[in-house]
């Protein structure tokens, strides 16, 4: 019996070299192709989808990926690889192809798309990405190549020389150099035992780089590499101390004027600054000194920068607001916006908004409003784990709301709108959703449609009117669509919320606005279910008072039609 078991196991695991397991079967009836962000709202097949890549923007490319996943075949993957490497296509088209390949590889395990990318075309895709790094210069095309190698096909040891060259060369864009340097540092982290001579030299060269992003990546590496990888710590301590000693004096970053003219010729991309590097070096110094937990150097730098950038403070028992510059006169007005929005959000939640979830409401709510977008991004990148290219963030774990004073042409959202939006997140965190972003099970059920839709409803309520006001920009967007949003897709959407991608804010606003104004009982039922841990996506129609998805969507679409024809 044991002999037969051994034979069976050997047959299963010792696959003949060059052979492949059976490819997952494509679904017999894949979902319809929906591409509202593309030139056409739908396409006939995969060939037509790939043909539109030269015209595809970011959202269209993401929708093409979704449509390809259940339909993709080996020929389609090979076609995408050909497009990514062919100089007959412009760089945007090639980047679209490369990003789709990565998105397909990110698909769930045991799916056709994932198996094609990780079992059948893994080596070919890695080879293409490395060749692009070695011979191309387009910033965004190469960033996607780095992303493929550093995430999906990590560790790609063969990419180390190309990553080193890009990181240490002045020829490339700062954001790309930072990304390449981080990818190279992550390869170093995967080494066993004392790091190689080449890796050691890369860290030394990167710490001395004139580019702050490259210095940041090297300092970050020193913060997470193990002791057995670094060896004797004293030389590294001396090196970091020497680099910190040459750091420029702290200064609050200023915006560079109206960015719209620049946007005609390039994508406005932020990247690490000297403050980012200084903070990363302070963290590295704390770690090398055995003081990672208390991080005295890093905290001292953070406190000093806050005092410099946020000299004005106003507070009540529920809100503490800090802002700048020193001569600002609207701090009390901004605090009032936050306090009033907090109250209105609780009122709109009904019974759920009467009492906070035990232990979840953090008061006073801390609000930091930086004097410029540049100062905000500087701080967020240096001292928080959050993305910087957004108008504001609410950190539920710390009870802190971050935003900035607007410059001309920087964003479609005013400061007051962003404060209302993020304050809404503070309320839902304290009254609707138990736990925090990283709590186990927090993202078990998709909640982006409500969290973001509710925030967008609040964002536009500039005064406590007798009824809720519609969001003009989102209403115009919804009314301009050739196809109305699909309800089941929207409430299940994770992209742009707890998964990478872009969220559909107009559709989320339209749904929550509809429920608040026409189905308030549905809001009560759903928020109660979330708060008690009983919300399930499959129950959505029942919680809303509908017999099925079709009936719910029909009522929602009818409401949209009324809004758009009023």
Burial of 489 (0-12, 13-18, 19+ CB in 10 A): middle
pLDDT at 263: 42
Predicted TM-score (pTM) of this structure? 0.86
pLDDT tens digits for range 322-379? 999 999 999 999 999 999 999 999 999 999 999 999 999 988 999 999 999 999 999 9
Residue 16 has pLDDT above 70, yes or no: no
Find out whether 250 and 402 touch, Cβ atoms under 8 Å: no
Q: Does domain 310-435 have CATH number 1.10.287.610?
A: no
pLDDT tens digits for range 271-300? 899 999 999 999 999 999 999 999 999 999
Going by the DSSP 8-state scheme, the letter that residue 480 receives in this structure is T
Cα gap 237→286, rounded to integer Å: 9
Residue 551 has pLDDT above 60, yes or no: yes
Measured between its terminal Cα atoms, the distance across the chain in Å is 78
Residue 499, strand partner residues? 495
Q: What b-and-e string marks burial along 443-471, b requiring 16 or more CB atoms within 10 Å of the CB?
A: bebbbbbbbbbbbbbbbbbeeeeeebebb
Confidence of residue 256 (pLDDT cuts 50, 70, 90): confident
pLDDT at 24: 55
Residue 401, strand partner residues? 367, 394
Q: Does domain 443-566 have CATH number 3.20.20.70?
A: no
Q: Is 108 helix (H, G, I), strand (E, B) or coil?
A: coil
pLDDT at 109: 85
pLDDT tens digits for range 48-86? 999 999 999 999 999 999 999 999 999 999 999 999 999
- Across the chain, mean pLDDT equals 91
Residue 558 has pLDDT above 60, yes or no: yes
Confidence of residue 4 (pLDDT cuts 50, 70, 90): very low
Residue 319, strand partner residues? 365
How is the beta sheet containing 400-404 ordered, strand by strand?
Answer: 312-315, 319-323, 365-370, 400-404, 392-395
Cα gap 428→64, rounded to integer Å: 33
Q: Which residues contact 44 (CB under 8 A, 6 or more apart)?
A: 33
pLDDT at 405: 97
Could you tell me what percent of the chain has a pLDDT over 90? 83
> In Å, what is the CA distance from 123 to each residue of 118, 152, 154, 158, 435?
8, 12, 12, 11, 41
Residue 468 CA neighbour count, 13 Å, CB half: 24
Nearest of 135, 134, 126 to residue 101 by alpha carbon: 126
pLDDT at 408: 82
Find out whether 184 and 202 touch, Cβ atoms under 8 Å: yes
Task: Tell me the domain boundaries of the chain.
Answer: 30-147, 154-253+270-305, 310-435, 443-566
Residue 146 has pLDDT above 80, yes or no: yes
Confidence of residue 31 (pLDDT cuts 50, 70, 90): confident
Q: Angle, nearest 10°, between helix axes 373-383 and 274-288? A: 20
pLDDT at 361: 92
Nearest of 70, 107, 64, 66 to residue 83 by alpha carbon: 64
Residue 307 has pLDDT above 70, yes or no: yes
pLDDT tens digits for range 180-228? 999 999 999 999 999 999 999 999 999 999 999 999 999 999 999 999 9
Q: Give the position of tokens 């075949």.
A: 73
pLDDT at 30: 83
């Amino acid at each position: 019996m044991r002999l037969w078991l051994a034979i069976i196991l050997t047959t299963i695991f010792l696959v003949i070299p060059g052979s492949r397991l059976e490819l997952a079967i494509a679904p017999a009836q894949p979902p319809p192709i929906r591409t509202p962000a593309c030139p056409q709202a739908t396409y006939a097949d995969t060939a037509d989808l790939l043909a539109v890549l030269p015209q595809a923007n970011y959202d269209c490319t993401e929708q093409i990926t979704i449509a390809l996943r259940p339909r993709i075949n080996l020929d389609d993957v090979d076609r995408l690889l050909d497009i990514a490497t062919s100089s007959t296509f412009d760089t945007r088209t090639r980047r679209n192809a490369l990003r789709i390949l990565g998105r397909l590889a990110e698909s769930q395990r045991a799916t056709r798309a994932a198996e094609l990318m990780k079992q059948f075309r893994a080596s070919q895709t890695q080879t293409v990405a490395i060749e692009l790094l070695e011979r191309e210069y387009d910033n965004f095309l190469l960033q996607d190549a780095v992303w493929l190698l550093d995430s999906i096909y990590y560790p790609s040891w063969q990419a180390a020389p190309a990553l080193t060259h890009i990181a240490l060369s002045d020829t490339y864009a700062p954001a790309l150099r930072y990304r390449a340097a981080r990818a190279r540092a992550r390869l170093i982290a995967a080494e066993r035992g004392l790091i190689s001579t080449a890796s050691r030299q890369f860290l030394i060269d990167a710490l001395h780089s004139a580019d702050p992003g490259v210095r940041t990546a090297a300092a970050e590496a020193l913060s997470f590499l193990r002791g057995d990888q670094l060896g004797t710590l004293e030389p590294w301590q001396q090196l970091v101390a020497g680099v910190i000693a040459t750091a420029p004096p702290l200064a609050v970053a200023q915006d560079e004027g109206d960015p719209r003219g620049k946007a005609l010729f390039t994508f406005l991309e932020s990247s690490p600054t000297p403050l980012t590097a200084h903070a990363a070096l302070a963290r590295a110094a704390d770690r090398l000194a055995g003081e990672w937990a208390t991080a005295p150097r890093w905290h001292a730098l953070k406190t000093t920068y806050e005092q410099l950038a946020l000299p004005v403070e106003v507070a009540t028992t529920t809100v503490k607001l800090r802002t700048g510059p020193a001569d600002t006169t609207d701090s009390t007005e901004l605090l009032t916006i936050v306090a009033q929005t907090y109250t209105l959000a609780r009122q709109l939640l009904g019974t759920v908004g009467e009492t906070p979830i035990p232990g979840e409401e953090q008061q006073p709510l801390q609000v930091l409003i930086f004097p410029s977008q540049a100062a905000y991004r500087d701080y967020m990148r240096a001292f928080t784990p959050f993305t910087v290219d957004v108008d504001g963030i609410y950190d539920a774990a710390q009870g802190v709301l971050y935003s900035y004073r607007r410059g001309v042409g920087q964003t479609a959202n005013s400061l007051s709108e962003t404060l209302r939006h993020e304050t809404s997140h503070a309320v839902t965190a304290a009254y609707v959703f138990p736990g925090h972003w990283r709590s186990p099970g927090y993202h078990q059920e998709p909640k982006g449609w409500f969290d973001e839709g509710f925030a967008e409803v609040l964002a536009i309520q500039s005064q406590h009117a007798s009824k809720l006001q519609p969001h003009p920009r989102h209403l115009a967007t919804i009314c301009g669509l050739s196809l109305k949003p699909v309800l089941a897709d929207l409430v299940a959407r994770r992209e742009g919320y707890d998964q990478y991608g872009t969220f559909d804010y107009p559709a989320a606003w339209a749904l929550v606005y509809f429920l608040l104004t026409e189905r308030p009982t549905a809001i009560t039922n759903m928020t109660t279910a979330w708060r008690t841990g009983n919300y399930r996506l499959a129950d959505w129609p029942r919680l809303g008072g509908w017999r099925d998805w079709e009936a719910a969507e029909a009522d929602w679409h009818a409401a949209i039609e009324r809004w758009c024809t009023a």
